[in-house]
């Protein structure tokens, strides 16, 4: 079952910068009956510029299953669609105030539609060479113009309420495009909402820990080696890293396996997530730094007080080894506009972890309690691929009611992570993200590249399947 699937540099470098805007991951969302706001998934993906932005229909969700022989070409053209939108937004920004009332339609939206028609046809042809050619994609070509905030939200006007826009809080730090006071909730007022399906006979109940530190060394960049390999600032927000000591846009399977690690057991896997920021202070990247102020991410970067990395088993049976270089993204960095389908954010406080998890709110913890971020990765694998064109299709979650994997998938160790933070009082912290996403709690996500040695992975699987606790 365990196979070594390697990607060459040429294939990785064929994916261009704009594909970073497709970042995100799949997941199950915990129910928060008392505090979660409703989230409606719009059809359009909105890419933000300072005021007016292009909004185009999402393409990936309208495509059939992409044959493996067509994936490379389809991926290139999906990236090209994102590049075209970015170029259109750039033209809108640089020509603001020019032309008459029809200028944007004729000079931006019209040419953009023509480009999208051609690109969508290339996608259809690529799939049609090896499978049934999809029809109707041309209907996804026209785009519209949005005005105001990229996600349709309006920031409150009071600085004390955590104003967005260019306003400041009491500490004098610009808040970018969020979060708002309404994005926070007093956790003591939230009804318990955690439910756990019981383990069945034959379940794999063991655990395996990798102790990898808290990124005390300050390894940061705004690259995303999974979604935008070869592209500097492909994530447009700053990542914390533990495990593998040299993860960047230039990483390859070969370079990752040669690097040292912060993990005490020799685990060279890459674990990375968007940083959390203290919005009462200024960070060194507050002005025009890539991933920082240039992308609307402001405030001082918070170092977690603790980070735990734990692999768990299956509620219904044994697990098999993860393939080396498996890539998984959990959560959706654009969930504020995409909706909750792929969101997988979990926020709580110490002392409340067995009672409450918030999915679309940041917790305000009582005195003596700290903020906790939790991640639970997909724990089913298709048995063949280490990645997929949408970075989702090769992995899946178990059924929340039965704990079983979907047909055609096998159970693998489930990566779980727990990050604890001491944050400033009040609604004054936020996760890094894309412009237009409002720095909302629901956009939290996490990235993982499995680079354990086969021997270490075999040890983890044995511990999990025999019900032991190892690390």
Instruction: Give the model's pLDDT for residue 211.
Output: 98
Nearest to 389 by CA among 169, 56, 60, 136: 60
Adjacency order of strands within the sheet including 220-221: 220-221, 239-243, 270-274, 445-449, 327-331
β-pair partners for 327: 449
pLDDT of residue 32: 37
Residues of the chain with pLDDT under 70: 1-51, 96-101, 147-176
Joined together, the tokens standing for residue 287 give: 């002005």
**pTM surpassing 0.85?**
no
Ordered strands of the 144-147 beta sheet: 44-46, 52-57, 144-147
**DSSP H stretches of helix in 17-148:** 68-94, 103-104, 110-128
- CA nearest 273: which of 230, 325, 322, 219? 219
Which pair of structure tokens corresponds to residue 325? 């270089």
| Nearest alpha carbon to residue 374 among 342, 420, 318, 341 | 420
- For residue 419, list its beta bridge partners: 307, 373
* pLDDT number for residue 68: 85
Q: What is the pLDDT of residue 155?
A: 30
Tokens of 317: 């049976």
**In this structure, are strands 469-470 and 207-210 parallel, antiparallel, or unpaired?**
parallel
- What interhelical angle do 68-94 and 110-128 show, nearest 10? 180
Evaluated on CA atoms 404, 360, 175, 429, the torsion sign reads: negative
Torsion angle of the four alpha carbons 57, 58, 62, 64, in this order, in degrees rounded to the nearest 10: 140
- Alpha-carbon distance of 368 to 350, in angstroms, equals 9
pLDDT at 452: 98
Task: Give pLDDT, residue 438.
Answer: 94
pLDDT at 396: 98
Q: What is the rounded CA–CA span in Å between residue 396 and residue 387?
A: 12
How many Cβ atoms sit within 10 Å of the Cβ of residue 456? Answer: 18
Phi first, then psi: give them for residue 238, nearest 5 degrees: -85, 140
What is the pLDDT, as a whole number, of residue 1?
47
Give whole-number Cα distances, 217 to 47, 214, 240, 459, in Å: 33, 8, 10, 28
């Amino acid at each position: 079952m365990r196979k070594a699937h390697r990607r060459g540099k040429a294939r990785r470098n064929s994916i261009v910068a704009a594909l970073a805007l497709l970042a995100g991951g799949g997941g199950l969302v915990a129910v928060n009956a008392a505090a979660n706001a409703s989230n409606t998934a719009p059809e359009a993906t909105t890419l933000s510029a300072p005021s007016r932005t292009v909004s185009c229909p999402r393409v990936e969700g309208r495509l059939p299953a992409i044959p493996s022989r067509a994936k490379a070409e389809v991926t290139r053209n999906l990236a090209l669609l994102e590049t075209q939108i970015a170029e259109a937004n750039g033209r809108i920004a640089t020509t603001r105030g020019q032309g008459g009332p029809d200028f944007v339609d004729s000079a931006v939206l019209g040419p953009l539609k023509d480009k999208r028609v051609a690109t969508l046809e290339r996608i259809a042809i690529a799939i049609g060479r090896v499978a049934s050619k999809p029809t109707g994609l041309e209907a996804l070509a026209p785009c519209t113009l949005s005005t105001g905030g990229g996600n349709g939200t309006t920031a409150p006007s009071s600085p004390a309420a955590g104003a967005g826009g260019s306003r400041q809080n009491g500490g004098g730090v610009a808040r970018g495009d969020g979060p708002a006071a309404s994005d926070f909730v007093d956790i003591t007022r939230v009804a318990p909402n955690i439910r756990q399906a019981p383990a069945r006979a034959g379940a794999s109940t063991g655990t395996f820990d990798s102790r990898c530190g808290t990124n005390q060394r300050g390894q940061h960049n705004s690259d995303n080696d999974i979604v935008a390999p070869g592209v500097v600032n492909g994530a447009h927000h700053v990542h914390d890293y533990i495990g593998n000591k040299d993860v960047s846009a230039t990483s390859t399977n070969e370079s990752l396996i040669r690097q040292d690690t912060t993990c005490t057991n020799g685990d060279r896997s890459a674990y990375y997530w968007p940083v959390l920021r203290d919005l009462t202070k200024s960070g060194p990247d507050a002005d025009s730094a890539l991933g920082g102020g240039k992308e609307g991410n402001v405030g001082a970067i918070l170092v977690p007080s603790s980070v735990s990395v734990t692999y768990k088993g299956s509620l219904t049976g044994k697990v098999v080894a993860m393939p080396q270089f498996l890539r998984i993204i959990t959560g959706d960095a654009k969930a504020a506009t995409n909706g909750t389908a792929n969101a997988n954010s979990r926020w709580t406080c110490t002392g409340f972890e067995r009672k409450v998890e918030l999915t679309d709110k940041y917790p305000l913890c009582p005195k003596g309690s700290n903020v906790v971020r939790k991640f639970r990765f997909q724990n089913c694998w298709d048995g063949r691929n280490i990645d997929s064109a949408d970075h989702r299709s090769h992995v899946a979650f178990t059924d929340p009611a039965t704990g079983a994997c979907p047909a055609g998938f096998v159970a693998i160790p489930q990566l779980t992570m727990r990050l604890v933070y001491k944050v400033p009082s009040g609604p004054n912290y936020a996760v890094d993200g894309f412009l237009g996403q409002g720095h909302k709690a629901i956009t939290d996500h996490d990235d993982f590249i499995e680079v354990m040695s086969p021997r270490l992975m075999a040890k983890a699987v044995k511990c999990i399947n025999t019900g032991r606790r190892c690390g």
